Amino acid sequence: MKNCRKYKRQYFLPPVTCMDWAEKDYIDKAPVWCSVDLRDGNQALVIPMNLSQKIEFFKLLVEIGFKEIEVGFPAASETEYTFLRTLIEENLIPDDVTIQVLTQARPHIIQRTFEAVKGAKNVIVHVYNSTSVAQREQVFKKSKEEILQIAIEGAKLLKELTEEAGADYRFEYSPESFTGTEPEYALEVCNAVLDIWKPASDRKAIINLPVTVQHSMPHVYASQVEYMCKNLKYRENVVVSLHPHNDRGCGVADSEMGLLAGADRIEGTLFGNGERTGNVDIVTLALNMYSQGVEPNLDFTHMTHICEQYEKFTGMKINERSPYSGALVFAAFSGSHQDAIAKGMHWLEEEKPEHWTVPYLPIDPTDLGRNYDADVIRINSQSGKGGVGYILETKFGLNLPPKMREAMGYTAKAVSDHTQKELLPEEIFELFKRTFEHVVSPLDVTEVHFQQTKGGFSTEVTSSFNGKVLTAKGEGNGRLDAVSNALKKAYGFQFDLVTYQEHALEQSSSSKAIAYVGIKKPDGSLAWGAGVDSDIIHASIDALVTAINNR
C-alpha cells in the first residue's frame, strides 16, 4: 500500500467508559425493528423501485412482521410523495403498523413532509441534521452552536406542526454522522431536542444513533452507545435506536454490541442493502438471535420466497454465502462435514434431545423452509461417504454397509471430478444402480436349485462366464454360501464372502428387499454388489454376482 499515514482515526471515545455491556454474553430479547428498505435500500439501487414494486415490497415487510417501516423521504421526489399518499389513501397500512418518514431539519422540507402524512393513523416523523466534525467544518462551515440551533429549530417545528394537525405523531431525532461526532457534543444536541419534545411514557421519543460511516471497531461504538444511554435525559421515555452502516463489514457486530450496551431498536434492511457497503442485515441479526433461543419477532420461515421477492423488487442478487439466506449457506460439500451432519441427524432421531445441536448447522434449515436433500448435503469431488450415504438413505431408502458406503463415496467423487460438476440426488442413485446393482457381465447366473442338508444347503448353479455356460454344485452353511462355493469351483474364483446385509425397501406385504454383498479379494481389497427383488434369495444372489463382476 502506498501511504497508510494519510489516514487517521476519525472517531471519539466518550469521556467516561464503564463497559458494563461487555459482561453480557447474549441478547435476551428482540429489539424494536424498523425496516428502512423503502428509503435507505431504495436510494442505494442503481434503478430505484417504481410505485408498484414499492407497494408490493411494503406488503412483504408487513408479512414478515415489521411493525415500524420507514416508507421514504416524501419531500425528496414526486415518486416518494405519491407512494406515501397511495399507502394512506388506499388504506394499505395495517392498524398495528407505524410508518416512518424522513426529513432534514429544514423548514420547507418539514412542511412538505407533514403534507404527505396527512390522514395516516400511526406515524413517526424522523428529523435529522449532521453533527460530525467533518460535516461541520467541510460541508456546513458552522460552529457547534449553529449546528445545535438547527436541531433545536427542527424539533420545535415538528412539535408545532403536529399540534396544528391535532395528531399524535411520534418524533425521532438523529445526529447524523454520530460516529464522527464527539460523544459529549452529540449528547448535548440530543438532550436539547428532548427538552423541546418532553417525551412521556405514552408518547416516547426516539433518539437514533447512526453509524453513518463506520470509523471504529464495534466495541468503540458500543461504548459510545452506552455513554448516550446512561446520560440521555428522560431515558425511561426515550427509545434508543441504532442505524448501522457496514463500511468496515461490522454492521451486525455494531448492532449486537450496541444492543448489549443499552439500545432498544434497530433500523436496517433485508439482506443489508444500502449505500456503499450497505446497512445492517436484519435477516442475519434476527436469525443470530433465533439461533440462541431468542424469538426475533420476525418471520423468516419462507426464506426462499422472501429472497425471490426481494430480488424481483430490487434487481439485487443475494450472495450464495449470505448468512442464513444464501443458497449455499447450509450446503456441505466436504466429506468430513457431510459425515458429521449425517451422524448428527441420526443422533437427533435416536436421542430426541430438547435442543438442536447438529454439527455444522447452527440452526435447523427446515425452520427457514429449506430442504435437507436439496440444500444441505451436496455432492461434488470434495464429498465423501457420509454425504453420499445420507442421500441414498434419506431419499431412496438405501442403508448401505459402512464399507460399501465408502466405496460408493469414492465412485461418486470420481465421476464428479471427471465431469467437473455437482451430482444431483437422482444422478447419485442412478450411479449406484449402474455400478453396484444387476451387473451381469462377464458372469451371469441363470438358474439355481437348492436342497437342504444336515449341515446346511447344497445347490446346483447354472451360469455363464464370458459366454461359456457351466453347471456346478456347491455346499455351504447357507444358501448364499453354497452358491458362492459353486461359483468358485466352476471358475476358480478366489474371494471370501465377508459382508452380507439386507433390508426391506417398502413397508408392505409386497415390498421388495435389497441385499448388499461384500467380497474380499486376495489382495485384501473389497468388491461390492447389491440386488433388489421381492425374493430375498434372488436379491442376495444378484448382489453376489455383481460383487464378483466388480472384483
What whole-number distance in Å separates Cα of residue 98 and Cα of residue 452? 83
292 and 356 together in one domain: no
240 strand-pairing partners: 207
CATH at 162: 3.20.20.70
Residue 8 resides in a domain = no
State the pLDDT at residue 140: 94
pLDDT tens digits along 193-225: 999 999 999 999 999 999 999 999 999 999 999
Question: Do 251 and 104 sit in the same domain of this protein?
Answer: yes
Which cell goes with 443? 458372469
Mind listing the pLDDT tens digit for each residue in 31-66? 999 999 999 999 999 999 999 999 999 999 999 999
The answer to whether residues 44 and 166 belong to one domain is yes
> 213 near 232, Cβ under 8 Å?
no
Classify residue 10: in a domain, yes or no. no
Predicted pLDDT of residue 206: 98
Q: Which of 411, 435, 459 is the last residue of a domain?
A: 435
pLDDT surpasses 90 at 454? no
Of 424, 304, 315, 416, the C-alpha closest to 367 is 304
- For residues 346 and 27, what is the distance between their CA atoms, to the nearest angstrom? 31
Residue 519 has pLDDT above 80, yes or no: yes
The average confidence (pLDDT) of the chain is 94
Residues 427 and 464 grouped into a single domain = no
For residues 47 and 79, give the distance between their C-alpha atoms in angstroms, rounded to a whole number: 13
**7 lies in some domain:** no
Considering the domain architecture, whether residues 542 and 462 belong to the same structural domain is answered as yes
Residue at a domain's end among 435, 451, 486: 435
HEC string of 472-523?
A: EEEEECCHHHHHHHHHHHHHCCCCEEEEEEEEECCCCCCCCEEEEEEEECCC
Same domain, 357 and 225: no
* Residue 49 sits in the same domain as residue 125: yes
Q: pTM for this structure?
A: 0.84
Q: What is the pLDDT of residue 373?
A: 65
Same domain, 112 and 261: yes
Q: Which of 123-127, 174-178, 455-459 bottoms out in mean pLDDT, i.e. has the lowest?
A: 455-459
Q: How many domains does the chain have?
A: 3
Residues 213 and 345 in one domain: no
Residue 416 belongs to domain spanning = 335-435
DSSP 75-139: TT-HHHHHHHHHHHHTT-S-TT-EEEEEEES-HHHHHHHHHHHTT-SSEEEEEEEE-SHHIIIII
pLDDT band at 510 (very low <50, low <70, confident <90, very high): low
Give mean pLDDT, residues 108-137: 96
Give a yes or no: residue 61 inside a domain. yes
Residue 234: inside a domain: yes
Instruction: Tell me the pLDDT tens digit for each residue of 130-183.
Output: 999 999 999 999 999 999 999 999 999 999 999 999 999 999 999 999 999 999
Copy the grid coordinates of residue 215: 470509523
For position 73, what pLDDT does the model report? 94
What percent of the chain is modeled with pLDDT above 90? 83
- Asked, for residue 5, whether it belongs to a domain, the answer is no
Provide the pairing of β-strand 123-130 with 68-72. Answer: unpaired
Residue 340 lies in a domain: yes
Does residue 82 surpass a pLDDT of 60?
yes
Mean pLDDT lowest among 105-119, 264-278, 325-339, 481-495: 325-339
Residue 380's pLDDT is 79
- Three cell numbers written together for 59: 406488503
Would 243 be classed as within a structural domain? yes
Cα diameter, the chain: 109
Identity of the residue numbered 470: L
Q: Which pLDDT tens digit goes with each residue over 461-482?
A: 999 999 889 999 999 999 999 9
pLDDT band with cut points at 50, 70 and 90 for residue 19: confident
* Listed residues 283, 314, 345: the one ending a domain: 314
Residue 229 and residue 151 in one domain: yes
* Reported confidence tier of residue 434, pLDDT bands at 50, 70, 90: very high
Per-residue pLDDT band at 507 (split at 50, 70, 90): low
- Please report, for the domain that includes residue 513, its CATH number: 3.30.160.270
Question: Can you tell me the distance from the alpha carbon of 475 to that of 453, in angstroms, rounded to the nearest whole number?
Answer: 9
- Residues 148, 239: one domain? yes
